[in-house]
Amino acid sequence: MPKKSKKTAIIDTATILFAGKGFTNTSMTEVASLTGIVGATIFYHFKTKEELFVSVLENVKTGLVQAFSLYFQEEHFPSGLERLLGAIAYHLHLSEIKKEWFHLLRRHYTHELAAVNPACRRHLEVVYTCLIEIFERALVIGQEDGSIGPLSTKKTALIILAMVDGIIQLESNNLYNAGTLYSELLASCRRMVENKQ
């Protein structure tokens, strides 16, 4: 029974804190004490706070890409349209069971760091490319099988991502409980892309 290494434990704690309170408002001491170690230990495993953040992001990236690839390995769809709706529903589902991942990705610091830190930028690009390609692929398949109308798959994929992301954000800012919007969102997307000859 190989117990979780401290390095992994640090990353797990940091994921929750960075996602929930942001980079600047999370102190290394806090990460340490919640992990059950002493502050200086983190600096043995990670040279700087920024390096810890990038490791956290890398971890999220890996988890996210894996989750989606697993989903598409297991699910099969009668049409491109159904595949798209399935992807959207799974995206929403994942954003509920792995809130931290999506909060972290939406943190401003993540994007600001990506502008100056190549490693950070690479991870972020992998994530976004993955998310967009999922939608785009479904759209392409749907155009081939006739379930999806004639539209720019690339642009539409971006719009759908923005839409899903916007809904997740509405919910996380809980001004309105967006949860009740899920089925309406799927219906809206269907109307938006389906082929109505």
Partner DNA sequence: GTATTAACTGACTAGACAGTCAGTATTGCA
Partner DNA sequence: TGCAATACTGACTGTCTAGTCAGTTAATAC
User: Measuring CA to CA, which residue among 92, 95, 65 is closest to residue 189?
Assistant: 92
Could you say whether residue 132 binds DNA (CB under 7 A)? no
Tell the burial category of 154 from Cβ atoms under 10 Å away from its Cβ (0-12, 13-18, 19+): middle
Could you say whether residue 154 binds DNA (CB under 7 A)? no
70 binds, among DNA, a second copy, none (CB under 5 to 8 A by kind): none
| Closest CB 173 distance from a second copy, rounded Å | 4
Residue 51: count of CB within 10 angstroms of its CB: 15
Structure tokens at 3: 């117990």
- Which residue lies nearer to DNA by CB, 48 or 69? 48
Residues 48-67 binding DNA (CB under 7 A) are 48-50
Residue 84: count of CB within 10 angstroms of its CB: 29
Residue 19: count of CB within 10 angstroms of its CB: 22
* Chain residues in the site for a second copy (CB under 8 A): 22, 24-25, 107-108, 111, 124-125, 128, 149, 151-152, 155-156, 158-159, 161-167, 169-170, 173, 175-176, 178, 180-181, 184-185, 187-188, 191-193, 196
